[in-house]
Amino acid sequence: MIKNIFSIILLALLISSCDSNDENINKKILINFSHHVDGQELSSENMNHTNLAGESYNVKTLKYILSDIKLLGDNQTEILLKDIHYVNIDDASTLFFESNLVELGLSTLYTLSFTFGLNSNINTPNNYVNELFHPTMYWPEPMGGGYHYMKLEGAYQNDSTFYNTHTGPTMGMDYSFSFTEDININNSIENQEFLLSMNLNNWYQNPFTINLADGIMMDMPIQINLKENGRTDVFSLQGILDK
Amino acid sequence: MYKGVYKIIICTLLFSCQEDLPIIQGCTDINASNWISVANFDDGSCIYYQTTPYQIITPFGFPDMIVPVNNQLTVEGIELGKKIFNDPILSANNTLSCSGCHIKTNSFTNNTRFSTGVDNIEGSRNASALINLGWNTSFNWDGSANTLEEQAFEPVINPIEMHDTWVNVENKLNNDITYINLFKNAFGIDYIDSNHIVKALAQFERTLISVNSKYDKWRRQELQLNSSELNGFAIFNSEKGDCFHCHGTEMFMDNSFHNNGLDPGFKFDDLGLAYVTGDPLDNAKFKTPTLRNIEYSGPYMHDGRFSTLEEVIEHYNSGGIYSNTVDPLMKKIGVGLQLTNSEKQDLINFLKSLSEPDFINNL
């Protein structure tokens, strides 16, 4: 009798241990990037956009870096999707990325997180010489060294007055910030696709109203305010149904 | 009766098969440098060409050099490329070599606004300096070539440059025993073709590296920049001078294209990048040149309109001219940087610290 009970328990343990492995799901995570101004498509020619300060503007350049893009699961599990992703709206190949196959558990609840920019541990001079962004996002050593987090540029007020919203490590300070958002993973579909949207107007509002300006790389208060605005509601994430 | 006829036919066929092919002795291995295509008996004479790999040491702060997998650098290939570069044999009338327009003492450009081809026709763009090209991701002022090999195809057949044909160039080189041997040694080929000619040229061009200027020595803490150069460095790397956005990193260029406000939109004589992309938003955008050895490589801009560095600085100091494709980095159109005379001089002194005399004298 005892023998039988022992055998049943052992068998049950073996089956349950097999189950947990079998039920892990391998899938790719796809992130698409989109950019708008309060729902408006970006305009590079006409002054179609208006910020909270009442300044009309257009967008000619938008380049930025995200780092440490990962999924956080329950039990403190972390799944790295990509170390660094560089977005340039003029280069369609940068407007999405696909992770390698990642192994997910049974849980459908995860948090997607990334760092906007590069944190100070990795944002050092010449740390990414072989990355596409090395020459364009370079941040001079006399200003702190490393790389811009973002270059957002265009004309404002009139065609020949330009703004340069450049964020980065002013004098070595770390103004990168984290974004996290809970997501649902659908275990019944092969690959999961998300759309990460940036509302450009929100860089200039909530909580701080910021005016467009031609040079802010050495302006610490503005860098701090941009960071706060950025972490508040510049980004939003939504799932896309598998095609 | 029929049986007999068949036998005769079969015998005839057999005898014809037995006719021996002449034995031609020689190297039958296609991979050997002395492969004889008609040889059918290997006599053990095969010689395999051996090249000596050439290692580029990546300079401080530079990416790994972009070298095509099918054109790895070798000592033999580089030497051959250097010989061709300096040989007018590439031009229709054998009077103009690559080095005729790309002169070593001018950092491999020349000091005229436009170069003159074999038919005495002047071009419309300033000859580019050939320096640190292995780190460029596109070539020519308008980015029309993606690799150095691709770029090297152009001047030979350009009617206003060398005005030759590749067939003619191949014939000339294949009639020259020196070149036949050099190509065999470098690439193991018996027939010299255009693909291997541009490969050799590209190999040589990749070795034109300048990273030992006064600035570099300062970076390596081997010497000190003077106070004017240091102030120029500070202006260069500040938003006041704002040079670094296009000429940043140790490469002093961004591998990108910009309209830096030289002309109003209605007066674009040269559409630059737009010639390649067909996009009007690329009108008048040109590739950023490196500022290394800039002291030697004037005149400046894609059309060589500025003779001196002073004129270049003055262009940015006055803010340039508006057009709808002008770069937003030209932040104050018509106003400019507003540097003082002293600051302008400091900036120029810093730019001159990027000069490497050994590069133009001893290469």
For residues B190 and B182, what is the distance between their CA atoms, to the nearest angstrom? 10
Is A12 within the bounds of a domain?
no
Going by their DSSP bridges, the two strands A29-37 and A40-41 should be labelled as antiparallel
pLDDT tens-digit map of B176-234:
999 999 999 999 999 999 999 999 999 999 999 999 999 999 999 999 999 999 999 99
| Maximum separation of any 2 CA atoms in chain B, in Å | 115
Whether omega for the bond prior to residue A135 falls within 30 degrees of 0, making it cis, is no
For residues A219 and B42, what is the distance between their CA atoms, to the nearest angstrom? 77
Instruction: Return phi, psi of residue B273, to 5°.
Output: -55, -30
* Helices B177-187, B75-85: crossing angle, 10 deg rounding: 150
- Candidates A145, A190, A187; CA nearest to A168 is A145
Are A218 and B249 inside 8 Å of each other by CB? no
Q: Which of A18-32, A130-144, A166-180, B239-253 has the lowest mean pLDDT?
A: A18-32
* Residue A218: predicted pLDDT: 97
Are A140 and B248 inside 8 Å of each other by CB? yes
Which domain, by its residues, includes A174? 25-240
Token digits for B194? Answer: 């255009």
Are B256 and A135 inside 8 Å of each other by CB? yes
Instruction: Provide the pLDDT confidence category of residue B17 given band limits of 50, 70 and 90.
Output: very low
**For the domain with range B214-362, which CATH number is right: 1.20.210.10, 3.30.70.1560, 1.10.760.10, 1.10.599.10?**
1.10.760.10
* Residue B10: predicted pLDDT: 53
* Residue B130: predicted pLDDT: 98
Q: Torsion over CA of B352, B356, B360 and B362, rounded to 10 degrees?
A: 150
Kindly identify which residue of chain A lies nearest to residue B64, measuring between CA atoms. A130
Residue type, B35: W
Mean pLDDT across chain B, nearest whole number?
93
Share of chain A above pLDDT 70, in %: 89
Are B329 and A153 inside 8 Å of each other by CB? yes
pLDDT tens-digit map of B231-275:
999 999 999 999 999 999 999 999 999 999 999 988 899 999 999
Per domain, the residue ranges of chain B are: 24-51, 75-206, 214-362
Is A18 within the bounds of a domain?
no
What DSSP designation does B165 have?
-
**Which member of B63, B233, B239 has the closest CB to residue A130?**
B63
B248 contacts in chain A (CB < 8 Å): 135, 138, 140
* Residue B30: predicted pLDDT: 81
Kindly identify which residue of chain A lies nearest to residue B233, measuring between CA atoms. A142
Is residue B8 classed as helix, strand or coil in its secondary structure? Answer: helix
Is A153 within the bounds of a domain?
yes
- Candidates A78, A114, A88, A122; CA nearest to A234 is A114
Whole-structure pTM over 0.90, yes or no? Answer: no
**Which member of B62, B256, B329 has the closest CB to residue A164?**
B329
B39 and chain A: CB distance < 8 Å anywhere?
no
pLDDT value at B354 more than 90: yes
A159 contacts in chain B (CB < 8 Å): 322, 324
Token digits for B342? Answer: 């002293």
Alpha helix (H) residue ranges in chain A: 2-22, 220-229
Provide the chain B residues 228-287 that lie in CB contact (below 8 A) with chain A. Answer: 233-234, 237-239, 242, 244, 248-251, 253-256, 281
Are A136 and B233 inside 8 Å of each other by CB? no
B330 contacts in chain A (CB < 8 Å): 162
Mean pLDDT of A102-122: 91
B31/A77: higher pLDDT? A77
- Candidates B224, B222, B221, B243; CA nearest to B232 is B243
Angle at B278 (CA atoms; ends A154, A132), nearest 5 degrees: 60
Are B239 and A217 inside 8 Å of each other by CB? yes
For residues B268 and A67, what is the distance between their CA atoms, to the nearest angstrom? 41
Instruction: Provide the pLDDT confidence category of residue B20 given band limits of 50, 70 and 90.
Output: low
Q: How many helices and strands (H and E) does chain A possess? A: 2, 17
B233 contacts in chain A (CB < 8 Å): 142
- B49's CB contacts (< 8 A; 6+ apart) are B32, B33, B184, B185, B187, B188
Question: Is the Cα torsion angle A206, A210, A215, A216 positive or negative in sign?
Answer: negative
* CB-defined contacts A:B, below 8 A: 71
pLDDT tens-digit map of A144-171:
999 999 999 999 999 999 999 999 999 9
Are B250 and A126 inside 8 Å of each other by CB? yes
B281 contacts in chain A (CB < 8 Å): 44
Tell me whether the CATH fold assigned to B75-206 matches the one assigned to B214-362: yes
* Residue B175: predicted pLDDT: 98
The total domain count for chain A is 1
Are B328 and A125 inside 8 Å of each other by CB? no
Do the beta carbons of residue B245 and residue B337 sit within 8 Å? no
Residue type, A41: E
Provide the chain B residues 294-353 that lie in CB contact (below 8 A) with chain A. Answer: 322, 324, 326, 328-334
User: Which residue is it, tokens 């406000």?
Assistant: B261
| CATH level 3 topology of B75-206 | Cytochrome Bc1 Complex; Chain D, domain 2 (1.10.760)
Interface test with B, best of A138, A148, A157 (most B CBs within 10 A): A138
* Residue A191: predicted pLDDT: 87
